[in-house]
Amino acid sequence: MSFVGMAYRKFSLVWLQRAIAFVVICGVFFRIYNLDGKVYWYDETMTSLRVAGYTQAEFVREAANGEITSIERLRNIYQYPNETRDLSDSIDALARHPEHSPLYYILARFWLQVFGNSVIAIRSLSVVFGILAIPLMYWLCCELFSQPLMSGLGVAIFAISPFHVLYAQEAREYSLWTVTILLSSVVLLRAVRESKYRVATPMWLLYGVIVALNLYAHPFAAFVSVSHGLYVVLTQGWKKLKNVISYGWASLLGIILFSPWLYVVVQNISYFVKNTQSTMSPRDNLHLIWGLNLSRIFIDVNQGTSPLNPLLYLAIFLVLYSIVVLVRSTPPKTWLFVVLLMGVTGTALLVPDILVGGRRSNNLRYVVPCVIGIQLAVTYLFGTKLSTLWLGVRQHRRWKYAILFLFFCGFISCAVSSQIPVWWNKSYAKSRYNPAIAEIIAQSDRPLVISDEKPGRLLSLSHLLPPDVDIQILKPSQVPEIPDGYSPVFLYRPSEPLKGAIAQRYNAPIERAYQGWLFVIDN
C-alpha cells in the first residue's frame, strides 16, 4: 500500500471511530426516547396482569361483573402491584403460563414497587437491560475477534439495530434474555480461554449460575446452552477433556438452580401445551417472513413480505456472504461459536415448521440468539474488510460507505418507528385502531365504555384513556344496566349478541363510530 493509501486509511479509520461513537449514542437515545408514545399492546398488558397477580380467567371472573368502574381503578388493580395480591399470587399466575420463564416478571413487580405505576416505569426496566446489553456486545466481540475496530463495529451494529431498539422499549422479557445470552457467551469463552492456564477456573462456576439465569429469562435459552455445549465439544475434544467435563458440571449446576421452575413447568404441562397451540397453526408465505425478519435486523421501515421487495434479497445476501467470509477467514474456535449460536436455535424452530407445519419460526423475538449470531458475522465481514492492509483506497472507500449506509438504515428505522404508535411488533390486528378510539372517547363529555371484549385488547385501550373515564365490562351474553347521566355511551368491540340485546332492550339504534371497533348508542 502506498503512503497516500496508508494516510487515507488512517484518516478514514479515525472518522469511522467517530461515526461508531455517534451511532452508539443514537442507539442509547432511541432506547429512551418517547417511551410511552407507543401502544401498550396486548402482550404487554398480559405482562402487567401477571405482575399484578392475576390470570385472564381471574380478570374475567372478577372484573367482568357488569359493574361500572373507572379506568384508573381498573388499571391499579389489574395492571400494577397492589395490596390485594402479593408476590405469591404473581408466581401462581405465571405458573398458568409456564411457557414464559419468571425472572423478568418478578423483577418487574419489584421494579414497579420502587419506581411507581406507569407505562414509562415498567418499560424503563427493559430499557435498562437494553442499554446494559450494548457493552456486553462489545465484550463478546473482544472475546471472539480480539480487534478493537471489530468490537466497535459490533457494538454500533447492535446499538442501532431496530430490532433491539424495539424490544428494549417493550414490557416483555426479550431485552433481559438478550443480556443473559451475551453474558453467558462471554463467560463461556473466558472460561475456555482461562482453562489454558489453570486446572480449574471460577469462570465455570459463574457460567453455571448464568446458565440458570438464562433459563429463568427465557425457556429457549436451553438452545443457547446446547450451542455452547457443542462448541466446547467440537473445539476442545479429547485433548482438553477437562473443559468438556467442566462444561458438563457447570450446566448441571445451572439445571439444578433452575429445577424449582422446571418442576412448575412439569406440574403445569397442560397449560404449556394449551398456551403454545397457536404456534402449530400454519402460516402462509413463511419463507418470505424469514426474509423479512432478516431485513428487520438492520432496516425496518415496516416493509412487507412482497417477493419483489429488494430489501429481503439484500439482507439474505449480506448474511450469507458474511457467514462465508467468517468461516473461510477465521479459525474454528471463532466461526464455530457464531454458527452454532445461530444454527441451534434456528434449526430447532425452522425444521419443525418445514416438516410438520407451524409458525414457530414466524416471530423474530423467539430467535434472539440467531440475531446476535448474524450481527457477529456481519461485524466480522465489515471489520476484516475495513482493516485489511492490502485493500486499495477505492475498495476501502466502498466498504466504508457500505457500513455507513448500514448505520444510516438503522438510524432511519429507529427514527421512523419512534414516531408511530402502532409498529409491527405491537400487532396491527390487536392494536391498530386503539389510539384513534381512545382520542374519540377522551374528547367526549361524560362517556361510558361498555365491552365484552377479551382482557388483552380491553386493557390495552385502558392505558390510552383518561383515568376518570368509566367502563362497564361484561361476561358473554350478559346485558348491561346502563344508568342515566352518561353521554355518549360507547361499545368497544362488542359481540353481535351484545349489540342485539342492547338494541332490543333499550330500543336504541347502535351506530358505528370507528372502523367496526367502536360503536355508539344513539339516545
User: Percent of the chain beyond pLDDT 90?
Assistant: 76
Residue 318's closest CA among 252, 270, 385?
Answer: 385
Say which residue the cell 445476501 belongs to.
317
Contact by Cβ (8 Å): 67, 480: no
Preceding peptide of 488 cis, ω within 30°: yes
Evaluate if residue 484 carries a pLDDT over 70: yes
Cell of 287: 419463507
**Res 414: pLDDT:** 97
Region 471-495 average pLDDT: 91
**Res 368: pLDDT:** 97
In a domain, 421, yes or no: no
**Res 478: pLDDT:** 85
Region 393-403 average pLDDT: 84
Cell of 58: 381471574
Pairing of strands 518-521, 489-492: antiparallel
In a domain, 306, yes or no: no
How many C-beta atoms surround the C-beta of residue 239 within 10 A? 7
Evaluate if residue 1 carries a pLDDT over 50: no
First to last CA, the chain: 84
In a domain, 216, yes or no: no
9 or 54: which leads in pLDDT: 54
Evaluate if residue 129 carries a pLDDT over 90: yes
Please, what is the Cα angle at 376 between 373 and 378, to 5 degrees? 110
Q: How many residues does the chain have?
A: 523
- The rounded Cα 392 to chain-centroid distance in angstroms is 41
Residue 454's closest CA among 489, 427, 483?
Answer: 427
**Res 3: pLDDT:** 46
In a domain, 268, yes or no: no
User: Domain residues for 96?
Assistant: 42-117+433-521
Cell of 278: 397457536
Region 362-388 average pLDDT: 93
What is the amino acid identity at position 419?
A: Q
Contact by Cβ (8 Å): 106, 87: yes
Q: How confident is the model at residue 389 (pLDDT cuts 50, 70, 90)?
A: low
In a domain, 490, yes or no: yes
User: Percent of the chain beyond pLDDT 70?
Assistant: 95
What is the amino acid identity at position 464?
A: L
pLDDT in tens, 175-214: 999 999 999 999 999 999 887 656 557 899 999 999 999 9
**Res 92: pLDDT:** 95
Query: Which of 202-206, 234-238, 385-389, 397-401 shows the highest mean pLDDT?
Result: 202-206
In a domain, 236, yes or no: no
pLDDT in tens, 225-261: 999 999 999 998 766 788 899 999 999 999 999 999 9
The strand pairing partners of 470, in sequence order, are 70, 448
Helix (H) or strand (E) holding 413: helix 393-417
Burial class for 301, CB neighbours closer than 10 Å (0-12, 13-18, 19+)? middle
pLDDT in tens, 100-126: 999 999 999 999 999 999 999 999 999
In a domain, 53, yes or no: yes
In a domain, 456, yes or no: yes
**Res 199: pLDDT:** 52
Provide CB contacts within 8 A for 329, sequence distance 6+: 380, 384
Half-sphere exposure of 204 (CA within 13 A, CB side): 22
Say which residue the cell 480461554 belongs to.
193
Q: How confident is the model at residue 508 (pLDDT cuts 50, 70, 90)?
A: confident
- Report d(CA 79, CA 458) in Å as an integer: 12
The strand pairing partners of 231, in sequence order, are none
Evaluate if residue 45 carries a pLDDT over 90: yes
- Report d(CA 361, CA 369) in Å as an integer: 13
Total count of domains within the chain: 1
